[in-house]
Structure 1
């Protein structure tokens, strides 16, 4: 067997990259460590020098995914400022963009049943991503009178759930789930309805 995994100097990352390809193609439970090793060009025994098992390998993929996700969300948020509304809407669009560009990471993060509390590093990365969306929600919700203002964590959770639903149903190319509308349009209109209900934007 070729040992190309050793020659490029980063076997650990080669295994993560291999796992990401397999997760994209087969799902988080559809491959074995031996398959990941074969795709990385190393022996199965070499995997255990870096990962205790498949879940450990997937957790590393999720960690890297959350780090990329947080960077993407932070860029979108910063690019939308100083308008609180534009910054908030930009984070929703960034969610869809991330899911499309990094499908293996997305599945590892949200569909592998790996707890974000599995390691302190994973919890920190996931918390950073969540915190950016909450920051965007907090900035926008300050316009709502205090007695009617939902907690920023609830506000952001609603948008996160809406974004996740659009991704799962219409942005992943699942059979039988084609929509006559672009996922971005679905999310934008859904966010618009939500924000109108809170009195944050004018009715059409």
Structure 2
């Protein structure tokens, strides 16, 4: 039923003159069902109720559609991270709140991967050769206004909050994104495709909490240290 509603929405978008978004919606459906390999321009056109020729007026090829769906998937990932962080109860100490926020966005990241594996894989897929792939980021400081890197920028902001509140030494800040991101991403892939995928739900959830808490703890000033607040 969900797929049918999305397909109807795509067709409605086209009839209102927004074929590009209708094709992206169809591509998101395809990614949800089967990951990046399923994002085929001809099939997206069929779901949107138009001919492949019409679709090619908006996307030069399959790689361009995949890039648009990839960016959309990244936005959904960032939304999930923010929702988990927003669900935290208010705290009375900025430093403790910063710790909880970092752990929460990590849980949101892994939770999205488990709930939407097709979209998660698409969010980190490579577009086909010739697509208008963004090449302006070398993995250090992505553009702040590029939606493709919103989840990364959420992580950066959470790490900055740890420093600002005195919870993390400034010396631990360089490269902290890589350490936190790679740990969360590695856990997500182990749960999706590795032996951890066989864990019962309660054990799986405990592993997620333990891993995200360990990421945070490894970045902090030790309790009782003169630099802690």
Bucket of the pairwise TM-score, normalised by the shorter protein = 0.7 to 0.9
Return 5+ residue gaps in structure 1 as ranges.
none
CA distance in 2, matches of 1:200, 1:12: 49
Is 1:151 aligned with 2:165? no
Is 1:190 aligned with 2:198? no
Q: Which of 198, 209, 216 lines up with 1:178 in the alignment?
A: 198
Q: Deviations over 1:121-161 (max 9, x none)?
A: 99711333312111112222432444xx3225x22322222
Q: Which residue of 1 aligns with 2:189?
A: 168
CA distance in 1, matches of 2:79, 2:169: 31
1:28-107 matches, within 5 Å, as 28-30=36-38, 32-77=40-85, 80=88, 82=94, 83-107=97-121
Q: Secondary structure at the match of 1:29?
A: helix
Contact 1:73 1:133 in 2 (8 A): no
Q: TM-score, normalised by structure 2?
A: 0.68
CA distance in 2, matches of 1:4, 1:40: 5
Contact 1:16 1:61 in 2 (8 A): yes
CA distance in 1, matches of 2:222, 2:32: 38
Q: Which residue of 2 aligns with 1:139?
A: 161
Distance 1:199 1:123, change over 3 A: closer
CA distance in 1, matches of 2:87, 2:21: 30
Q: Which residue of 1 aligns with 2:134?
A: 117
